[in-house]
Structure 1
Amino acid sequence: MHEQDKNMKDNLAQDKMIEGSAWMTAGSILSRILGAVYIIPWSMMLGTLYLQANALYVQGYNVYSLILIISIAGIPSAIAKQVAHYNALNEYGVSVRLYKRGLLLSLITGIVCALILYIGAPAFDNGNPDLIPVMRSLSWAVLIIPTMSLTRGYFQGFQDMAPSAISQFAEQLFRVIYMLVAVFFIIKMLHGNWVTAVSQSTFAAFIGSVAGLLVLGWYYLKRRRYYRSLVKNSNNEIHVNANKLYVEIIQQAVPFVILGAGISIFQLIDQFTFFKIMHVATNASDQVLNQLYAIFAGNANKLIMITISLASAMAITVVPLLSEAYTKGDKKEISHQISSGFVLFSFVMIPAALGMTAVAGPLNRLFYGTGNGALSANVLAFSSIISIFFGLFTVVTAMMQGISQNKVAVRYFIYGIIAKVVSQFPMVFFFKEFGPLISSAIGFMVVNGLIINSLDRQFKIRSDKMLNQINWIVLFSLVTYLVALASVYAGNMIVGLLMNPFTRVGSFIVVSISTLLGGVVYVYLALKSRIADTVIGGKATSIRNKLNIK
């Protein structure tokens, strides 16, 4: 009987993880796709100025991302972790007080950091005065996003992922709509300045954040009665004073800031070193270097972030579940959740990254046209492989936070930064625009390796079962890659009979065919081998029955 209860508990935890991952993954993917698709009309409206505009846009966003992460101060993830902790103890009243105290903190940090970005913009322009209006337009979003992110963290602490996912989508949707309308009006109607168009494109982040916050407010009002009933039926045995709540939030938040800013920190290292190193290594003009920077830091990065967002969504889901197991001191459950997290990550991230590598050529033409075609496609293909290390970083650092080993994770991340900085000059000098990607991969491999080794040492996560599942996933992903790659070549020939396959329309058809065929092969192999059962549970059986897969 005890064994049956334990199995039911394991299945419930697995279902929570799958449901949470599904919501966060859906919201994150849709948001990322919107955040990439807008590039097509945006680049067409800007025409020959696109790469210059995109370089400016990316440089502004890199600084903004770091300031934003500081303004959020890791509070949402910290709140999610602490809310899950107190909820596991049936102390929902403390969770509500924690959220209210966090709101005050997020308002203060939002105001302070928005002022820093607005007033300090000239100090962050890297010698480019066009960056100043771009960064100032982004400062308005910093006022709102910390509060929005905090509220998402509160819902996640209750393992309620739908509000976060839907608000994330609404935020991106309204951002993109405003951006495209503003650029069309400035460039096409008024024949205005492209720097003004970029500034309005970045101001769209404020419009999106307002929409996202309104969605969360609606969900909060809708579920207020349910939360009140939980508070009413709490144990009410723990009484935490206000100062202790602030200390708890800040202690949990500071490591989240550093780790949450991990990818942004690496990108800022690229932003402030790439141009200087390239001036030493080549005689290229600033305009050419801006184009190269836009290709690897802007074009490729926007697309690989779609796949990285899958890992991010899963990482957010892992934290509350691990925190709950850690609070109960259940080492076996911690090991199980970590292993499940790695399998889930591999199941989605590896085939997605390899699939994007296979279709890099037509995918690049679809989004960015034929300019710098071969180089841009090669950078995208290489970035897609590197994205696996980026995504793994978000997962393993979230796991460390979930088991309250934030300081250890930060120390390992510092080692990764050192590896990135040390390798940056030789990699850029010898491999040019591929150099920053290689040095980032080196840095993240150092962090990921140290963290995985630490987790295995403590919880024995490298079970034969987990490794066997990941090995099959890698094999199926390679088969998918070969099918997709063959489909690209075949698709170019078939589409070429009707039209030019290297136009945007032709590339869309080729990408669609290759993605569909590769996806069908991967899903079939995952279902046939029963690997899908470990990821989506009993639903895999019903899918197999519907598809008549034995």
Structure 2
Amino acid sequence: MSINSQTEMQAKKSPQKEPTAKDKMLRGSAWMTAGSVFSRVLGAIYIIPWYTWFGKDNLAANALYTKGYTVYSVFLMISIAGIPSAVAKQVAHYNAQNEYAVGQRLYKKSLLLMLAIGFLSALLMWYLAPLLSLGEADVIPVFRSLALALILIPVMSLTRGFFQGYQDMFPSAMSQLVEQIARIIYMLAATYIIMQVMHSNYQLGVIHSTFAAFIGALGGLLILGWYYWRKHKELKQYALQSTNQLKISDRRLMADLLLQSVPFVLIGASTTLYNQLDYFTFKPTMISLSHISLKTINDLYAIFAGNDNKLIMIVVALASAMAATAVPLLSEAYTKNDHKKIATQLADALELFLIVMLPCSLGMAAVAKPLYIVFYQYNITGIYVLSFSAYVALPIGLFIVLSSLMQGIYQNKKAVKYFIIGFLVKVVVQVPLTVWLQAFGPVMATGIGMMVSNILMIRYFYYKYHLDLDRLERRFDGLLLFSFATFAVALLIVLAASSVINLEYRLWSFLVLVIAASVGAFLYLYLCLKTRLADKIIGARVSRLRKWLHIK
């Protein structure tokens, strides 16, 4: 018997099971979540030494750093222009038609475009820095140090999107991690030398801290280049196997890509635009309508827009990871006109969001006191704003997931429309809430605006694709109950510890944070496994975890 015949017989005896869309979503979400969370956690941990080394100027340095990144994020949005996400979507669309060569041609043509956009964005930010500084001379060199990163980040983001189109999330996850590690190493080394060795001014320390974005982008791009080189033969094989039935010119290819990228620009920049509104309205509103000193106003802005925002973005990163995974899968189902599969994937994505985001959001609110002290220092306003912001992370994360799902099924105009409605609601309530609640006001306005958009999108899914709300409600009730149990246990540990020891010391806060988070997480995991709710959402694979933990 020939080797080929033996191989054929073995294949018939033990056929390999094709992974389901849910399996792909879970696997992709796992990689993206790991990369995003580790990246965000590292991005938060560096604050501890960085904040300490600036000494008495720590809040001023953080305010300057936050102002720089707030404006930089707009240019980053322009330079990326939604194209990476659109590439992921379009590559998945062409791959679903077995037109791999078209998707690869799209990526190669987009590279030149992204390089050009990156250089143009960098030049604009560099030369517009004096105008954007709003009269603050210290911000100008910060803007210019960040402008250099705009040259590399568009190409890096495009390459991540290309691999996501193949539902391969590993390169994106690894490049995020390497980007963050390289950025933090340079940032901490430069800050230590400038502030602790040279004893220079904090402005110079901030300039080098923001220049670290360029170093990070270089590291992330090198990892992606190495991975592309490794996968080159495999990609070439895919291209050779293409049906080549789809005849589309380069001009049409790029036009379709740009058309798909526009909604991703607005939706991807949603949190950025919300932050921009805070940046341009908080200070003028407080100066005009309150009797608080300018220093206090800047400190409050640094707390809610800088300190607390960095921490809640760890939670929001979970939603971004899930969204990145869901888009190419939905695009594939939409291409095949499989409405039933679309409805199932919508429900799967929302359930996955709930099982992760609910306990994380409520858990962060419960441990806000030790968490804030560990990363910064004791500040009663910062602690309360962080606790409140943790709740608002839920509507922010849900918006990211829902808007991505909308774009995955090519409902781009509606996604943009619902975002604009929510943003206009924030514009209306922003000033009254800021006057009434000060640092809490912009955060609450963000939550209200996001929830309006979320309600509109869920309503659309329900009527258009018959989203199974009964199923989601059952899952939500159970997960919310378990999340509240986690919240209560973690909060009780923090309150009990506060009555016995002084949590203003960072070491004690760290120990209490670890204990409260660990006990709360184990309780949530135990409840989800014991009731088999985790099996219904994640699948039978969690049975191994149940067996390992000896849960019957």
Fold shared by both chains (TM-score > 0.5): yes
1:54 to 46, 53, 62: 62
1:544: which partner in 2? 546
CA displacement, residues 414-447 of structure 1 (integer Å, 9 cap, x when unaligned): 1111111110110001111111011111111111
Mapped pair 1:477 → 2:479 = no
- Written as runs of structure 1 = structure 2, the 5 A alignment for 1:224-235 is 224-235=232-243
Partner Cα separation in structure 1 for residue 536 and residue 288 of structure 2: 51
1:66: which partner in 2? 74
Amino acid of the structure 2 residue aligned with 1:218: W
1:408: which partner in 2? 414
1:152: which partner in 2? 160
1:350: which partner in 2? 358
How far apart are residue 288 of structure 1 and its match?
1.2
How far apart are residue 105 of structure 1 and its match?
1.2
Mapped pair 1:250 → 2:258 = yes
Residues 376 and 549 (structure 1), Cα distance of their counterparts in 2 relative to 1, 3 Å cut: same
1:34: which partner in 2? 42
1:89 to 97, 116, 141: 97
Q: Larger deviation: 121-130 or 395-404?
A: 121-130
2:467 to 440, 461, 465: 461
The answer on whether the counterparts of 2:312 and 2:390 sit within 8 Å (CA) in structure 1 is: yes
Partner Cα separation in structure 2 for residue 129 and residue 374 of structure 1: 31
- Written as runs of structure 1 = structure 2, the 5 A alignment for 1:478-517 is 478-493=484-499, 496=501, 500-517=502-519
How far apart are residue 69 of structure 1 and its match?
1.1
Amino acid of the structure 2 residue aligned with 1:459: Y
Partner Cα separation in structure 2 for residue 423 and residue 466 of structure 1: 30
Partner Cα separation in structure 2 for residue 149 and residue 493 of structure 1: 48
Partner Cα separation in structure 2 for residue 74 and residue 89 of structure 1: 23
1:23: which partner in 2? 31
TM-score for the superposition, normalised by structure 1:
0.96
1:529: which partner in 2? 531
- Written as runs of structure 1 = structure 2, the 5 A alignment for 1:292-371 is 292-370=300-378
How far apart are residue 545 of structure 1 and its match?
1.4
1:439: which partner in 2? 445
Structure 2 unmatched runs, 5+: 1-16
Partner Cα separation in structure 2 for residue 541 and residue 82 of structure 1: 36
Mapped pair 1:118 → 2:120 = no
Q: Larger deviation: 279-288 or 38-47?
A: 279-288
How far apart are residue 542 of structure 1 and its match?
1.1
Structure 1 unmatched runs, 5+: 1-7
2:3: which partner in 1? none
Amino acid of the structure 2 residue aligned with 1:286: L
How far apart are residue 335 of structure 1 and its match?
0.5
Partner Cα separation in structure 2 for residue 400 and residue 463 of structure 1: 17
Amino acid of the structure 2 residue aligned with 1:201: S
Hey, which bits of structure 1, 4+ residues long, moved more than 4 A? Answer: none
CA displacement, residues 311-360 of structure 1 (integer Å, 9 cap, x when unaligned): 00001001000000000000110010110111000111110010000000
How far apart are residue 493 of structure 1 and its match?
5.0
Q: Secondary structure at the match of 1:238?
A: coil
Amino acid of the structure 1 residue aligned with 2:176: Q
1:424: which partner in 2? 430
How far apart are residue 535 of structure 1 and its match?
3.3
Q: Secondary structure at the match of 1:83?
A: helix
The answer on whether the counterparts of 1:156 and 1:320 sit within 8 Å (CA) in structure 2 is: yes
Identity across the alignment (%): 49
1:284: which partner in 2? 292
CA displacement, residues 340-387 of structure 1 (integer Å, 9 cap, x when unaligned): 1110001111100100000001111111112xx211100000000001
Mapped pair 1:388 → 2:390 = no
How far apart are residue 242 of structure 1 and its match?
0.6
2:4: which partner in 1? none
RMSD of equivalent CA atoms: 1.1
Partner Cα separation in structure 1 for residue 506 and residue 231 of structure 2: 45
TM-score for the superposition, normalised by structure 2:
0.96
Amino acid of the structure 2 residue aligned with 1:439: A
Partner Cα separation in structure 1 for residue 117 and residue 86 of structure 2: 15
CA displacement, residues 444-485 of structure 1 (integer Å, 9 cap, x when unaligned): 111111111111110111332222011111111001100111
Q: Secondary structure at the match of 2:360?
A: helix
The answer on whether the counterparts of 1:18 and 1:535 sit within 8 Å (CA) in structure 2 is: no
Q: Secondary structure at the match of 1:120?
A: helix
The answer on whether the counterparts of 1:487 and 1:517 sit within 8 Å (CA) in structure 2 is: no
Amino acid of the structure 2 residue aligned with 1:64: Y
2:140: which partner in 1? 132
Partner Cα separation in structure 1 for residue 137 and residue 248 of structure 2: 49
The answer on whether the counterparts of 2:462 and 2:469 sit within 8 Å (CA) in structure 1 is: no
